[in-house]
Structure 1
C-alpha cells in the first residue's frame, strides 16, 4: 500500500474522503466504528487535511467504502460549493439521503466530462442564462411560466401535442439524464448544472413512465427558473416551497400546453382522463391539477375527482402505468459501450481513469450488472477477473 501511495500524483484529499463517506450514507461516528479507530476526532482530522491516514486505515477505507484508492487523491471535488442541487423529494427524506444524491449526481457529471473527452455528445440546446445583477429571489408570475414553457417548445421545434418519450428528447437536446436505482426511492430526482449543461438524476428507474416524465420536466423548470438561486436561499423553507410550486407549474405547462390541452378536455370524468392519459402519457393526477390551474374545472369538480382517485386506489398506482412507453436513459450507457466495443479503452482502464467503483458506474449509467467483469477462456474454463 505504501508503494501505491508513492506512485500517486496528488496528496491525500480529506474532502474526497468526506464525499466517499457521505456517498455511502455514513456519519463520522459510524465510519469511525467501522474502521475500529479510538475516536471520531481522528477521522475528522483526515477529512480536514490535518492528518494523513496510515496505510492500514487507507486500506480499510477502500474496503469499507468500496471506493478505489485513487479517488482519495483526486484534487477536484465533485460538489460545486456555489451551485445548489435541487431535490424533488418526499417529506420524510433525510438529510443523509440528500447528501448521498448530492455526491452521486456529482459522479454523473464526472462520468460525462470524462466520456466527453472521447466522444462528441450533442450540444446543450438549453438557453444560456445571463447572470442577474441581483441574486435576491423573486417569485415568477405563472403567466410568465406559461410563456416560458411554450417558448421552449417552439425553440425545440415541438408542436403543442404530447411528448411520448421525454428522456429521449432531453438527451437529444444535450441534457444528461441518469436513472439511479440504488436507493429506496424517497427522492424522485435531483439536478444541477454546469454552464447551460443540465444534469438530472432520477432517484428510482422503477417509477412509472408518467411520474418520471413529470419529474424530468420539473427539474428542467428549476434550471430555467432558478438558475441564480444561491444555496443559502435554496435552504430557506419559504423560498423552497415557492420554487417547488413554480417547478411543478412549469412541468404542467410544458407537458400539457394550455392551447392544446384545453381543447381536448371535453369531459371531466375519470374515464375520459384515462383516455387522455393514453394520448398525453401524463398521469391522471397531473391532468386534474392542470385542469384546475387553467380553470377548466370548478373547485367542486376537482374535489370530486380527487375523492374518486383516492377511492379507486390510484394515488400510488394509476391505470395504464404499465402500458406507457418506458423512459430509459441511454446516452451515457451507449457512450461507454461504444468506447469498449471499438477498443478505444478497456473496461479496466476506463474504470481506473474514472476513479469510481464499478457498481456505481453501472448503476448511474444503466449498464447491465457485472458489465465490467473481464472474462477469458483458459483450457475450456471461463475465468472471471474483477
Structure 2
C-alpha cells in the first residue's frame, strides 16, 4: 500500500530561530555546531527561504534538544500583548532577555495545552479595559497605595503578612513558573493574556523574600501599566518610572502602611530582623518602606544602609535560609492529575506539548527525570 505524504506539516523557519535564541546560540555558533558549510544556509532556513534536509534537521534537533513537531507548528500570538515586563539588572543583555521572553511564551503554551484538558482556577484579576494608546501618566504614590489595599480587599486578605504569595497567586488564577538558573541578571518577567497574568521567576535559587517581592512587583505592572505602548515601554525615563511604581506597589501590597507602621516600634537592625521573620520580606525592603512612610528620617535610613553594607547583607541576609521556600504547583499538579487518571500518558503529554522533556519539567516544576523513560534520543524522525 502506497504511503501518504503528510502535507499538513510545513517547516516553520521562525521556530528554528526561536529554538536557537532560546538556547543562546548565534547563527554562526549553531552553524558550527551542526557542521553546516556556511551560516547563510542556516539563515535561509530561519527566513523560510529553504527547508533543511532530514539529516540537518536531525542535527538541529539533537543540538538544541527540541522535538521534531516543535519545528512544524505555527502559532499565532496576536491575541497577546507584545510587551514582556522584566525585573532585571541594568546590565542584562538583549540576548538574555530574549531567552526569557521565549521561555515565558512556553509557560503560556504549556498552560494553554493543559487548559484544553483540565479546568484551572479562573483569573479574578481586575478586567482592565483596553484603551486607545495615550501618553503615559505617572501614578501618584498615594494612588498606588490605594490600588494595593484594594487588591488585598479583593482577595479578602487581612493587612498582615502573606505567608505564601505563590500559592495565593495560583489560587486566584495567576500562573507562576520558576526556572533553576545560575544567572542572577533576570529576577523575573511577566506577560498577560486578557486578565490572565503569567510570571516567570528567573532564578528559583534567589532568597524567598526576594522572590516574594518580585512576584508582587510583577502584579504591580499588570495593575498599573496594562495599557502601556511599546514606544513608551522602550523610553528610558518612562521605563524607570514604571519600575519605581511597581516597586512601590510591591511595598504597599506586602507591607500595608497602617499595620506595618504600628509594628515598627523601634529602628534597630535587630528589630528589623525580628520583623523579617514575621513579614517574610527582606530587611532592605522594609527599610525602603520605612523611608517611604516617613517612619525614619534621612539620617536613620543612611545609618541603616551603612549597617547593611558593613554586615555584608546586600546580597545575602540573615534568615534567607529559614524562610518558607515558595514553589508553584499549578502546572505540576495538572500534569500529574492528567497522568494519574490515565487521561494522557507521559509520552503523550510530552509529545503534545511539543517541547523537550527537560523544558517541560523545568517550567512545570516537575522532578528532574519525570519523563525520563521517554527522553532517550530518538533514532528515527517521524513525519
Residue 71 of structure 2 is aligned to residue 72 of structure 1: yes
Determine if contact 2:62/2:377 at 8 Å carries over to the other structure. Answer: no
Q: TM-score, normalised by structure 1?
A: 0.93
Distance 1:239 1:60 in 2: 44
Map 1:262-301; keep pairs closer than 5 Å.
Answer: 262-301=261-300
The CA deviation at 1:46 is 1.3
Distance 1:60 1:310 in 2: 50
Structure 1 residues 182 and 359 mapped into 2: Cα distance closer, same or farther (>3 Å)? farther
Q: Determine which structure has greater relative contact order: mean sequence separation of CA pairs < 8 Å that are 6+ residues apart, divided by chain length.
A: 2
Map 1:148-163; keep pairs closer than 5 Å.
Answer: 148-163=147-162
Unaligned runs of 5+ in 1: 376-383
Q: Which residue of structure 2 lines up, in the alignment, with residue 174 of structure 1?
A: 173
* Structure 1 runs (4+) greater than 6 angstroms displaced: 78-81
Structure 1 residues 130 and 286 mapped into 2: Cα distance closer, same or farther (>3 Å)? same
Determine if contact 1:217/1:255 at 8 Å carries over to the other structure. Answer: yes
Q: Deviations over 1:137-179 (max 9, x none)?
A: 2211111111100000011101111101100000000000001
Q: Which residue of structure 2 lines up, in the alignment, with residue 232 of structure 1?
A: 231
Query: Which segment is superposed worse, 179-188 or 20-29?
Result: 179-188
Determine if contact 1:79/1:102 at 8 Å carries over to the other structure. Answer: no
Q: Which residue of structure 2 lines up, in the alignment, with residue 102 of structure 1?
A: 101
Q: Which residue of structure 2 lines up, in the alignment, with residue 136 of structure 1?
A: 135
The CA deviation at 1:7 is 3.5
Q: Which residue of structure 2 lines up, in the alignment, with residue 363 of structure 1?
A: 362
Q: TM-score, normalised by structure 2?
A: 0.94
Distance 1:120 1:285 in 2: 39
The CA deviation at 1:326 is 1.2
Distance 1:8 1:127 in 2: 44
Structure 1 residues 360 and 72 mapped into 2: Cα distance closer, same or farther (>3 Å)? same
Determine if contact 1:93/1:187 at 8 Å carries over to the other structure. Answer: yes
Structure 1 residues 65 and 310 mapped into 2: Cα distance closer, same or farther (>3 Å)? same
- CA root-mean-square deviation: 1.8
Distance 1:341 1:227 in 2: 38
Determine if contact 2:180/2:202 at 8 Å carries over to the other structure. Answer: yes
Q: Which residue of structure 1 lines up, in the alignment, with residue 186 of structure 2?
A: 187
Determine if contact 1:8/1:73 at 8 Å carries over to the other structure. Answer: no
Q: Which residue of structure 1 lines up, in the alignment, with residue 311 of structure 2?
A: 312
Residue 42 of structure 2 is aligned to residue 17 of structure 1: no
